[in-house]
């Protein structure tokens, strides 16, 4: 019963935060970044069947980082993005966010979008409906406590179900998959991961890029990736969930 109570509170907080919305802070010295605004029930990212391709123009990419925050690697990634006036979307694991709320606050303060990625990163397709929705709502609680919104969600391993997608949509949320997945979690040497990423990017010329801020190799390869994007004329675009206002 106590567990159910906690979930009920989570949903109530969630609804309140979606209704309120907030404008992300953006560094004063940076030019406003183009932002793709998602609506309730939207599903973007071609790697998952049934999701739509993100409305990006040629040579536009959205950077996403999953499975943080991590005190060793997330600050390095935030430093690199800040130095180039770029914003990204972080799909944080609730358990890690509860341990490192200061990193979630920093992500939000520096204009990044923070989305949910469950409390403990289980494959939701292996759970009952109530277990899965509890994983989702519990995962949002530390993000809301840090000042975030509960309006964007990414499924662990990108594994979703129609019932869970409908559940998210009824609560005013959008689901984000990806278009470009360089398997940075595989812990290959950074240059190998970067080569895979470049190959997909050259073929597709746009898309949501899936990376992991908890991976040391990803922090390692990020300067070269950002140089490549810049050199090839790509624009990094921000992402905002339903109910959020774009920074400009
Ligand atoms: Zn993940």
Q: In the chain, where are the structural domains located?
A: 2-17+36-240
pTM listed for this prediction = 0.88
Token pair of 136 as six digits: 């989702």
Per-residue model confidence (pLDDT) at position 31? 83
| Listed residues: CB within 5 A of ion ligand 1 | 66-67, 156
pLDDT of 118 reads: 98
Distance 157 CA to ligand 1 centre (A): 6
Active site residues: 66, 212
Label residues 127-158 b or e (16+ Cβ within 10 Å = b).
beeeebbbbbbbbbbbbbebebbbbbbbbbeb
The three-class DSSP label of residue 89 is strand
* Residue in this structure with the two tokens 């000042």, named with its chain if needed: 147
Q: Which CATH class is domain 2-17+36-240?
A: alpha beta
Q: In whole angstroms, what is the distance from residue 76 CA to residue 70 CA?
A: 10
Q: How far is the CA of 31 from the centre of ligand 1 (A)?
A: 30
Positions in the chain short of pLDDT 70: 1-28, 245-248
Going from the Cα of 216 to the center of ligand 1, the distance in angstroms, rounded, reads 15
Q: Which of 190, 219, 174, 172 has the alpha carbon at shortest distance from 69?
A: 219
Q: Cβ neighbours of residue 209 under 8 Å, at least 6 residues apart? A: 61, 62, 63, 64, 178, 179, 180, 182, 197, 201
Structural tokens at position 104: 């979630």
Torsion 38-43-45-46 (CA) sign: negative
Q: What spacing in Å lies between the alpha carbon of 155 and ligand 1's midpoint?
A: 7
From ligand 1's centre to the CA of 1, what distance in Å?
A: 29
**210: which strand partners?**
64
Using CA atoms, how far apart are residues 94 and 92, in angstroms rounded to an integer?
6
Q: Look at the block and give the residue holding tokens 């129609």.
A: 162
pLDDT score at 245 = 55
Give per-residue pLDDT as tens, 193-241.
999 999 999 999 999 999 999 999 999 999 999 999 999 999 999 999 9
Cα 36 from Cα 229, distance rounded (Å): 18
d(CA 67, CA 95): 10
Q: Could you tell me the distance, in angstroms and rounded to a whole number, from the CA of residue 90 to the centre of ligand 1?
A: 10
What residues are paired with 180 via a beta bridge?
A: 209
Per the DSSP assignment, residues forming a β-bridge with 115 are: 91
Sign of CA dihedral 242, 243, 244, 248: positive
Decide if 190 contacts 220 (C-beta within 8 A): yes
């Amino acid at each position: 019963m106590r567990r159910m109570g906690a979930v009920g509170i989570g949903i109530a907080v969630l609804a309140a935060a979606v209704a309120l919305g907030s404008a992300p802070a953006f560094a004063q010295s940076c030019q406003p970044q183009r932002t793709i605004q998602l609506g309730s029930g939207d599903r973007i990212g071609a790697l998952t069947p049934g999701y739509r391709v993100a409305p990006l123009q040629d040579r536009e990419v959205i950077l996403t980082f999953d499975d943080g925050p991590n005190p060793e690697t997330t600050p390095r990634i935030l430093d690199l993005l800040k130095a180039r006036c770029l914003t990204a979307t972080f799909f944080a694991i609730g358990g890690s966010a509860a341990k490192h709320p200061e990193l979630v606050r920093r992500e939000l303060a520096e204009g990044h979008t923070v989305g949910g990625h469950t409390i403990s990163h289980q494959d939701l397709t292996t759970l009952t409906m109530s277990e899965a929705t509890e994983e989702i709502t519990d995962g949002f609680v530390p993000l809301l406590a840090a000042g975030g919104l509960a309006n964007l969600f990414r499924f662990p391993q990108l594994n979703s179900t129609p019932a869970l997608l409908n559940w998210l949509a009824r609560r005013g949320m959008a689901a984000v998959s990806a278009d470009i997945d360089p398997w940075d979690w595989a812990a290959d040497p950074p240059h190998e991961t970067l080569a895979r990423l470049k190959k997909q990017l050259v073929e597709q010329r746009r898309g949501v890029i899936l990376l992991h801020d908890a991976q040391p190799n990803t922090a390692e390869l990020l300067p070269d990736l950002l140089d490549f994007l810049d050199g090839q004329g790509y624009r990094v675009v921000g992402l905002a969930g339903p109910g959020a206002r774009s920074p400009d």
